[in-house]
């Protein structure tokens, strides 16, 4: 290129740019409108991925933060853990100090915590008193560490005269997490220990004192020197990794009570305890918030490599639940991503449709330029450039602006939507989406502007005026769109099925309202002119000039069709979004509340020596505020034992469970049970008349259960001899607050070794039962012996009848078997409410099986089935706590004790519980669970759908205003002419308002119908409602009031837009403006 050529090229470029800029400024209103819509479309496209990224990050961080302490971290131990010995300490520490890191400066893992642990058992300083025998069912034998049997004592807590089990722990950083109340936390090379205040009180060891412990069998006693006393910490704090070092008062595995751990230094631990018994463990905590969704792949691979490398290197086992947590988060993200994508895509498509619409309107303004170019002999490419330069420039500028806008909106709304701590990032995907939306926007703008190119000068000159040609192509196009939309909607409608299986979920169901709205909108737009044509006759000479003009205008002009479809689309999206949101919130709240069980749920510890049900009832005298609950988790099913008396008032019991709580409570309480027979003395007696002859004599025993210590005891009363005799025996359990009679047992063993030998039938008449204290007189037990119905024989082989005030039992002994007579304080089969899952586990007689509070299996009798039980997963049965407590013959070691508080619970209930020995460990509330779910990924996804609907409504309002505004210049001549023949501006304004009312009303009706039908059909396919968690039936009914309010608000907003815009449109019309030509 020559120098002159280059100069000319530069000049041409400059003039082109000037023409472009001047043209954009000249058509400022249109340019701004198109730019705004294009920014909206590109911004929406960019916002989706940004939003998705943030919600994914939130899902990830919530999953990791919500995981139990330690699950996300790395636990490093020797392969022979836990008996690794302290020798592995140094290289375990090396592994713990070099976990896999991303290498980008960010550190996923925190400072490792090395823990040295050794079990111990205290040695009582003073032997216990008389009666210190091991009961028959109290698991006698050596202590947990095989200590000498001389220290095997019964369960009398809080006495320095008894042994306790515990741990000596040296844990990195422990002093930072122990709240010392006296002395110092052992540090450096100290060999002293810090014990808890509770241990201190129990053992009665002063600060600076010592106490002897055993670190294992055949180990010499060691003295622990107390240098500090700490306040027991919160075991659920992240530092402790869910390991409860403060398990004071819990029953140890061998029946000993635990004391809180004693803490020392590593050197102290190794100096005090035998090295071989010290276990070493490294714990590498995950640093919350450092992992992003982009790191997931890398950290998975790194952990896997670290695990392999550790195992093959030093036989070090690295265990972590991080990959499982990442998978769980990934599953949420996937569903969430689909819904967000659909919602965002619908919004983008709507934006593009509006862009097409606006481009079509603005094309008319650029048409003179195009015609001028044709007049000057421009080639086709140049003509196209004139037509499209401005739309392309606008959309091109809109893409980065949209990206920026999307980011700013996300940044501004992030704290409200996601809460603090979630970063908003412009991802590559969001940039790509903005660019893609821009590219599609250019195409949409080009399509919209095609009218200015079509035909050219000659066509413009020859074109018939004022006639809408019903293009066959348009008709075919509309038919195709309707067919595709209808088919897709049908596929969605039949493809998803809520509540049955996750495979039925179809996130694409969120497309349903859009598809249906487009189809209905097009059909309505096609039908509207014909409907309006039918009105011509009665509006022609009716004097309703405005209505007549409006009906004819709408029937003739094609531009209204697009506006109608847009309106239908926006209204449909809003209807669907509001329906989805309300329905989702309704079900989500219900599920969250049902999951928690009650407005407030306290997990409590019950001091040994208390009876849980009685104490909770005592704490809540009204009986409507608190409910005692025991949850027995077992491999073969869960049992939810509740105080049925409060079932109607305390727990959250949705109506949709199919059975009112009061009815359930009534059914759960069996009738005809005999009262419990309390035993308070130390000696018991039974007066029995044996009628008949049986040899050898059967053995008579009596069983009592101590609810305080949860141990049962059997008293040998002697051989049962013919005739009337009193049989006495001394109880080997202490019943300070009362035991209860379990029953009397008769065991007969034939001298013959043959099995199944049967003795002649005898009659055993139980005349009375009595007790007395050590130095007191005999007291008769109120045992209802004269009522045979109050007694039963769980073992069978007995016929019971009343004999005056005595109980007569006709017994046929079989050798080696025991015949038991028990007061009928428990039903033969425990009445239970079952769930569909639990009911599948049936006992032999068809009734459900349930696990008792002591782990024993009990026969149950189903009194009803509900879809789910409050506070527990579906695999459970609901029973009365009072009955199950009566069924107890062992302890409740594995049970979770909770107190559920209803809405009417007094504020002082916690104090009151505490006063009755029920200590609150932690709490949960239904409101918190609902709030927590409100931040879940799917909720956030549907929130975007709601936002999209609002944005769509705003967009349609803008499109309506723009339609009127862009028509103003074009229709100025028409209105001026009408003004010239005497039509008032008020009539013209009303004409415009009628036009818009007709179009918008048709669009709103089509949109509401589309949105409601889509909601009714497709909501059941939305993944939010598909969950494996059992619960009451989903409430998928549409919320008419919410829909009405939403649509009403949209109509008001549109009406206001029309009202304001119509004044502007008509305001410029005047007869004197009929002369045109001025540019």
Q: According to the binding rule CB under 8 A, does residue 391 interact with other proteins?
A: no
Q: Is 753 one of the binding residues for other proteins (CB under 8 A)?
A: no
Residue 299 and residue 49 in contact, taking contact as beta carbons nearer than 8 Å: no
Binding of residue 973 to other proteins (CB under 8 A): no
Contact call for residue 472 and other proteins (CB under 8 A): no
Give the nearer residue to other proteins in terms of CB position, either 312 or 1078.
Answer: 1078
> Which residues are within 8 A (CB) of 1011 and not within 5 positions of it... i.e. 6 or more apart?
513, 516, 517, 571, 572, 573, 574, 575, 576, 579, 1043
- For residues 595 and 658, give the distance between their C-alpha atoms in angstroms, rounded to a whole number: 17
389 belongs to the binding site for other proteins (CB under 8 A): no
Q: Is 373 near other proteins (CB under 8 A)? A: yes
Instruction: Report CA-CA distances (Å) from 360 to 27, 44, 164, 375.
Output: 14, 21, 86, 22
Q: Is 467 in the site for other proteins (CB under 8 A)?
A: yes
Q: Which of 6, 9, 22, 415 binds other proteins (CB under 8 A)?
A: 22
Taking contact as CB under 8 A, which single stretch among the options 209-217, 237-245, 461-469, 988-996 is the one that binds other proteins? 461-469
Among 2, 104, 458, 777, binds other proteins (CB under 8 A): 458
Show the tokens assigned to 215. 């670190």
Alpha helices in 449-558 (DSSP H): 450-453, 456-462, 472-495, 512-540, 545-556
**669: nearest Cα among 857, 851, 833, 875:** 833
Q: Which two tokens stand for residue 535?
A: 């009105």
**Which CB, 774 or 1075, lies closer to other proteins?**
1075
Give whichever of 383 and 563 is closer to other proteins, judged by the CB atom. Answer: 383
Structure tokens at 748: 């007969």
Please report the DSSP string for 468-483 in residue order: ----HHHHHHHHHHHH
Of 24 and 598, nearer to other proteins (C-beta) is 24
- Name the residue nearer to other proteins (CB basis): 11 or 724: 11
Which pair of tokens denotes residue 51? Answer: 């939003």
691 HSE (CA, 13 A, CB side): 10
Beta strands in 205-346, from DSSP E residues, in sequence order: 210-214, 222-231, 262-263, 279-284, 316-319
Region near other proteins per CB under 8 A, out of 455-463, 493-501, 561-569, 823-831: 455-463
Q: Is 376 in the site for other proteins (CB under 8 A)?
A: yes
Q: Which two tokens stand for residue 984?
A: 């008032």
Among 1, 126, 461, 755, interactor with other proteins by CB under 8 A = 461
User: Per-residue contact track with other proteins, 1050 to 1079, x per CB under 8 A?
Assistant: -------------------------xxxxx
Asked if 29 touches other proteins (CB under 8 A), the answer is no
Minimal distance in Å, beta carbon 17 to other proteins? Answer: 10
Which one of 1, 3, 5, 25 is in contact with other proteins (CB under 8 A)?
25
Min dist CB 387 to other proteins, Å, is 14
Q: Other C-beta atoms within 10 Å of 751: how many? A: 8
**Ramachandran area for residue 691 (φ above 0: left; ψ -120 to 50: alpha; else beta):** beta
C-alpha–C-alpha distance, residues 715 and 739, integer Å: 13
* Positions of E strands within 829-883: 830-834, 849-851, 857-865, 876-880
Among 377, 420, 846, 982, binds other proteins (CB under 8 A): 377
Judged by CB, which is closer to other proteins: 369, or 706?
A: 369
User: With CB under 8 A as the contact rule, which of the stretches 267-275, 375-383, 951-959, 1035-1043 interacts with other proteins?
Assistant: 375-383
Whole-Å CA distances, 443 to 391, 396, 439, 956: 10, 11, 6, 21
* Interface region with other proteins, contact rule CB under 8 A, candidates 24-32, 256-264, 707-715, 768-776: 24-32
Residue 3 interacting with other proteins (CB under 8 A): no
Q: How far is the CB of 23 from other proteins (least distance, A)?
A: 6
Q: Compute how many residues bind other proteins; rule: CB under 8 A.
A: 34
| 896 vs 881: CA distance, rounded Å | 13
**Under the criterion CB under 8 A, does residue 441 sit at the interface with other proteins?**
no
Check residue 10 for interaction with other proteins (CB under 8 A). Answer: no
> Of residues 15, 125, 305, 761, which one binds other proteins by CB under 8 A?
15
Residue 662 binds other proteins, judged by CB under 8 A: no
> Contact at 8 Å (CB) between 879 and 830?
yes
Three-point CA angle 1042, 1047, 1053, nearest 5°: 130
Q: Among 1021, 936, 933, which residue's Cα sits nearest to residue 591?
A: 933
Answer for which of 103, 126, 462, 635 binds other proteins (CB under 8 A) is 462
Q: How far is the CB of 27 from other proteins (least distance, A)?
A: 8
Interacting positions 558-597 with other proteins (CB under 8 A): none
- The answer to whether 1029 contacts other proteins (rule: CB under 8 A) is no
Taking CB under 8 A as the rule, does residue 671 contact other proteins?
no
Tell me the window of 136-144, 377-385, 892-900, 1009-1017 that interacts with other proteins (CB under 8 A): 377-385
Is residue 14 helix, strand or coil?
helix
Which residue among 18, 479, 761, 1074 contacts other proteins (CB under 8 A)?
A: 18
Q: In angstroms, rounded to a whole number, what is the distance separating the alpha carbons of residues 407 and 441?
A: 19
What is the nearest approach in angstroms of other proteins to the Cβ of residue 391? Answer: 16
Examine residue 378 and tell whether it contacts other proteins (CB under 8 A): yes
Q: Is 1 in the site for other proteins (CB under 8 A)?
A: no
Q: Which stretch binds other proteins (CB under 8 A): 21-29, 232-240, 543-551, 1039-1047?
A: 21-29
CB of 386 to other proteins, least distance (A): 9
Each residue 353-372 as x (binds other proteins by CB under 8 A) or -, in order, gives ---------------xx-xx
Residue 372 CB, nearest distance to other proteins (Å)?
Answer: 7
Burial (Cβ within 10 Å: 0-12, 13-18, ≥19) of residue 1005: middle
Contacts of 487 (CB under 8 A, 6+ apart): none
Measured CA angle at 480 (ends 475, 483), to 5 deg:
125
Q: Does position 846 bind other proteins by CB under 8 A?
A: no
**Residue 25 Cβ vs other proteins, minimum distance, rounded to whole Å:** 7
Residue 641: phi and psi, rounded to 5, are -105, 120
Q: Which helix (H) or strand (E) holds 946?
A: helix 937-970
Tell me the closest approach of the beta carbon of residue 959 to other proteins, in angstroms.
25
Q: Which is nearer to other proteins, 371 or 607 (CB)?
A: 371
Q: Which is nearer to other proteins, 467 or 845 (CB)?
A: 467
CA angle, 558 as apex, 555 and 562 as ends, to 5°? 115
Taking CB under 8 A as the rule, does residue 454 contact other proteins?
Answer: no
Contacts of 187 (CB under 8 A, 6+ apart): 175, 265
Please identify, using beta-carbon distances, which residue of 386 and 798 lies nearer to other proteins. 386
Distance between CA 701 and CA 729 in Å, rounded?
9
Name the segment binding other proteins (CB under 8 A); options: 25-33, 315-323, 589-597, 843-851. 25-33
Q: Rounded to the nearest whole angstrom, what is the least distance from the CB of residue 19 to other proteins in the complex?
A: 6
- Provide the token pair at 271: 């100096």
Q: Give whichever of 23 and 623 is closer to other proteins, judged by the CB atom.
A: 23
CA distances from 955 to 44, 266, 945, 949 (A): 12, 68, 15, 10
Q: Is 479 in the site for other proteins (CB under 8 A)?
A: no
Does position 103 interact with other proteins (CB under 8 A)? The reply is: no
The least distance separating other proteins from the CB of residue 535, rounded to whole angstroms, comes to: 23
On whether the CB atoms of residues 269 and 118 are closer than 8 A, the answer is yes
Residues binding other proteins (CB under 8 A): 12, 15, 18-19, 22-23, 25-27, 368-369, 371-382, 457-458, 461-462, 464, 467, 1075-1079
């Amino acid at each position: 290129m020559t120098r002159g050529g280059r100069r000319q090229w530069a000049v041409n470029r400059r003039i082109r740019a000037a023409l472009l800029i001047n043209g954009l400024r000249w058509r400022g209103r249109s340019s701004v409108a198109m730019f705004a819509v294009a920014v909206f479309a590109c911004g929406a496209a960019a916002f989706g991925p940004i939003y998705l990224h943030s919600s994914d990050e939130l899902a990830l961080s919530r999953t990791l933060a919500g995981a139990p302490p330690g699950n996300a971290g790395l636990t490093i131990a020797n392969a022979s853990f836990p008996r690794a010995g302290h020798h592995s300490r140094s290289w375990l520490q090396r592994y713990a100090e070099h976990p896999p890191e991303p290498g980008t400066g960010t550190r996923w893992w925190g400072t490792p915590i090395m823990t040295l642990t050794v079990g111990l058992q205290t040695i009582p300083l003073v032997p216990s008193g008389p009666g210190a025998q091991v009961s028959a069912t109290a698991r006698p034998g050596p202590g947990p560490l095989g200590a000498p049997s001389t220290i095997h004592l019964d369960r009398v807590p809080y006495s320095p005269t008894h042994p306790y089990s515990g741990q000596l722990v040296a844990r990195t950083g422990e002093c930072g997490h122990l709240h010392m109340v006296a002395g110092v936390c052992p540090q450096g090379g100290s060999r002293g220990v810090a014990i808890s205040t509770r241990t201190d009180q129990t053992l009665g060891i002063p600060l600076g004192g010592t106490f002897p412990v055993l670190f294992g069998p055949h180990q010499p006693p060691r003295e622990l020197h107390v240098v500090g006393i700490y306040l027991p910490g919160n075991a659920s704090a992240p530092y402790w990794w869910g390991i409860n070092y403060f398990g004071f008062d819990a029953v140890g595995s061998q029946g000993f009570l635990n004391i809180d751990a004693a803490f020392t230094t590593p050197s102290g631990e190794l100096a005090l305890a035998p090295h071989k018994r010290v276990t070493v463990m490294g714990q590498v905590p995950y640093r919350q918030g450092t992992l992003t969704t982009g790191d997931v792949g890398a950290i998975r691979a790194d952990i896997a490599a670290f695990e392999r490398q550790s195992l093959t290197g030093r036989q070090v086992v690295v265990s972590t639940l991080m990959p499982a947590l990442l998978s769980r988060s990934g599953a949420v993200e996937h569903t969430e991503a689909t819904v967000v994508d659909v919602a965002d895509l619908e919004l983008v498509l709507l934006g593009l449709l509006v862009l097409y619409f606006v481009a079509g309107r603005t094309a008319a303004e650029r048409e003179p330029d195009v015609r001028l170019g044709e007049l000057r002999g421009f080639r086709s490419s140049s003509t196209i450039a004139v037509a499209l330069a401005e739309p392309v420039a606008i959309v091109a500028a809109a893409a980065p602006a949209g990206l920026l806008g999307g980011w700013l909106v996300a940044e501004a709304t992030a704290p409200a939507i996601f809460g603090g701590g979630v970063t908003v990032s412009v991802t590559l995907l969001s940039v790509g989406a903005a660019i893609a939306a821009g590219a599609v926007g250019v195409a949409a703008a080009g399509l919209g502007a095609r009218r200015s190119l079509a035909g050219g000068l000659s066509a413009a000159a020859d074109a018939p005026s004022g006639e809408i040609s019903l293009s066959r192509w348009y008709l075919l196009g509309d038919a195709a769109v309707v067919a595709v939309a209808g088919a897709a909607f049908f596929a969605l409608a039949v493809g998803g099925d809520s509540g049955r299986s996750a495979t039925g979920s179809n996130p694409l169901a969120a497309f349903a309202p859009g598809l249906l709205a487009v189809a209905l909108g097009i059909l309505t737009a096609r039908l509207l002119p014909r409907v309006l044509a039918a009105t011509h006759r009665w509006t022609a000479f009716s004097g309703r000039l405005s209505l007549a003009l409006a009906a004819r205008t709408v029937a003739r002009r094609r531009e209204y069709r697009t506006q109608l479809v847009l309106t239908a689309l926006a209204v449909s999206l809003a209807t669907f979004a509001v329906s989805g949101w309300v329905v989702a919130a309704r079900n989500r709240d219900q599920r969250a509340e049902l999951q928690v069980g009650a407005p407030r749920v306290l997990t409590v510890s019950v001091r040994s020596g208390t009876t849980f049900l009685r104490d909770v009832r005592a704490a809540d005298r009204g009986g409507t505020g608190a409910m005692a609950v025991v949850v027995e988790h077992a491999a073969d099913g869960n049992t939810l034992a509740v105080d049925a008396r409060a079932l109607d008032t305390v727990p959250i019991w949705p109506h949709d469970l199919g059975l009112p709580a009061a009815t359930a409570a009534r059914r759960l309480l069996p009738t005809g049970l005999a009262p419990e027979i309390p035993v308070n003395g130390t000696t018991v007696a039974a007066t029995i008349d044996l009628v008949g002859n049986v040899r050898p004599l059967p053995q008579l025993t009596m069983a009592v259960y101590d609810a305080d210590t949860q141990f049962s005891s059997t008293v040998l009363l002697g051989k049962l001899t013919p005739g009337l005799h009193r049989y006495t025996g001394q109880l080997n359990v202490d019943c300070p607050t009362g035991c209860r009679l379990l029953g009397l047992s008769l065991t007969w063993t034939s001298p013959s070794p043959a099995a199944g030998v049967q003795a002649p039938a005898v009659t055993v008449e139980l005349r009375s039962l009595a007790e007395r204290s050590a130095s007191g007189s005999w007291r008769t037990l109120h045992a209802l012996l004269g009522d045979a119905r109050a007694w039963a024989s769980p073992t069978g082989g007995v016929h019971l009848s009343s004999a005056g005030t005595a109980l007569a039992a006709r017994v046929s002994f079989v050798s080696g078997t025991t015949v038991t007579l028990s007061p009928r304080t428990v039903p033969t089969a425990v009445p239970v409410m079952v769930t569909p899952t639990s009911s599948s586990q049936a006992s032999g007689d068809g009734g459900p099986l349930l696990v008792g509070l002591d782990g024993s299996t009990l026969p149950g009798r189903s009194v009803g089935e509900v879809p789910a039980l409050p506070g527990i997963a579906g695999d459970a049965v609901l029973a009365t706590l009072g009955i199950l407590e009566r069924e107890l013959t062992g302890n409740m070691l594995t049970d979770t004790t909770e107190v559920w508080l209803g809405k009417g619970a007094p504020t002082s209930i916690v104090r009151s519980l505490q006063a009755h020995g029920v200590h609150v460990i932690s709490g949960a509330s239904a409101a918190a669970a609902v709030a927590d779910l409100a931040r879940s990924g799917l909720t956030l996804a549907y929130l975007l759908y709601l936002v999209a609907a609002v944005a769509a409504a705003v967009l349609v309002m803008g499109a309506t205003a723009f339609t009127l505004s862009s028509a103003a210049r074009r229709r100025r001549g028409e209105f001026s002419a009408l003004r010239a023949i005497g039509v008032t501006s008020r009539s013209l304004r009303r004409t415009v308002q009628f036009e818009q009312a007709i179009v918008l009303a048709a669009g709103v009706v089509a949109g509401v119908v589309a949105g409601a039908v889509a909601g009714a059909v497709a909501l059941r396919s939305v993944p939010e409602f598909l969950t494996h968690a059992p619960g009451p039936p989903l409430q998928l009914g549409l919320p008419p009031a919410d829909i009405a309010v939403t649509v009403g608000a949209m109509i008001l907003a549109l009406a206001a837009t029309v009202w304001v815009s119509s004044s502007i449109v008509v305001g410029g019309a005047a007869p004197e403006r009929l002369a045109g030509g001025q540019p």
